[in-house]
């Protein structure tokens, strides 16, 4: 299959045949199954938060941060749902992963599941574009092989959601059987669903999955695992990023004007060789010629659990 031609089509939001998607998904599974639950990544590297199917903003992200030809990236999950180009966004990242396997690390988010994508747009998008659910099934099988986290220079732990009361060490994450639909509870679920907040101790998350954790839990995790930063996504941040707990945790959000209506800016975080943090802020693509915001939304109403 011609990966460069596929990348060109995807960047234009053009239709990819079902057979081509199947071949892509198969190849990416073969590659992803060789990666550990927690992938080792070297600096310099750029950390990216939720994308949520906003293809044109993803292209802006690459444009503003150096591009995959020259830059190493960690994407913290939630590639699909909400936006109207979930398929193209996810397939573009998969194509880049196949072409530059050492430059792109893809971590699973809570939206990379069968159950969530049935509700928040990805399944409907594929039914609209293909008239059947085959492509959705192919992509869901790839989701099952995505890593649960990454460790940068043995110093920065990357995860989609957050911590778990069932996980004390990064080694324990390596022992999880990740090749499955995300369970409703337990360590794997918590890593994808939990959120930080100013709380004294673990409490159940209002999202209905995962936990809320505070500075004590973060400090304990950093100390036990000899790391100095937890980088995560999962929560809308109007300013694009938010550091908490004396800089021990950062939330990075990379979907500007989320859901085409939230009005937020987006950010990516570049980690240099000396572990210095540099944030790049960018705005949403302005609607023009049928791209950006000028898209017909899915008709199915969507629950706003993120607000």
Encoded tokens for 137: 């099934």
Question: Which of the residues 56, 111, 160, 234 is marked catalytic?
Answer: 111
CA-to-CA dists, residue 17 to 4, 92, 93, 97, 138, angstroms: 15, 14, 17, 20, 13
Determine whether 52 is an active site residue: no
| Catalytic center residues | 111
């Amino acid at each position: 299959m011609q990966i460069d031609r596929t990348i060109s089509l995807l960047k234009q939001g053009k239709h990819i045949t079902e057979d081509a998607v199947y071949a892509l998904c198969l190849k990416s599974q073969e590659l992803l199954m060789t990666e550990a639950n927690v992938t080792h990544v070297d600096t310099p590297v750029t950390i990216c938060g939720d994308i949520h199917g906003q293809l044109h903003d993803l292209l802006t992200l690459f444009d503003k941060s150096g591009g995959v030809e020259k830059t190493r990236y960690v994407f913290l999950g939630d590639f699909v749902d909400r936006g109207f180009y979930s398929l193209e966004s996810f397939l573009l990242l998969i194509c880049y992963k196949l072409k530059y396997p050492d430059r792109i690390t893809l971590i699973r988010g809570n939206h990379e599941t069968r159950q969530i994508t049935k509700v928040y747009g990805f399944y409907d998008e594929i039914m609209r574009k293909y008239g059947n659910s085959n492509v959705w099934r192919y992509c869901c099988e790839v989701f099952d092989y995505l890593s649960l986290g990454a460790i940068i220079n043995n110093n920065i732990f990357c995860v989609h959601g957050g911590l778990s009361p069932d996980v004390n060490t990064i080694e324990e994450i390596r022992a999880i059987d990740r090749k499955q639909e995300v369970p409703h509870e337990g360590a794997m679920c918590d890593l994808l669903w939990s959120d930080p907040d100013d709380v004294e101790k673990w409490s159940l998350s209002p999202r209905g999955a995962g936990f809320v954790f505070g500075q004590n839990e973060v400090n304990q995790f950093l100390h036990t695992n000899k790391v100095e930063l937890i980088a995560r996504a999962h929560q809308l941040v109007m300013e694009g990023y938010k550091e908490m707990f004396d800089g021990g945790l950062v939330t990075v959000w990379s979907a500007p004007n989320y859901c085409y209506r939230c009005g937020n800016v987006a950010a990516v975080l570049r980690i240099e060789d000396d572990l210095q943090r540099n944030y790049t802020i960018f705005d949403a693509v302005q609607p023009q010629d049928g791209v950006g915001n000028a898209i017909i939304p899915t008709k199915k109403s969507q629950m706003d659990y993120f607000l």
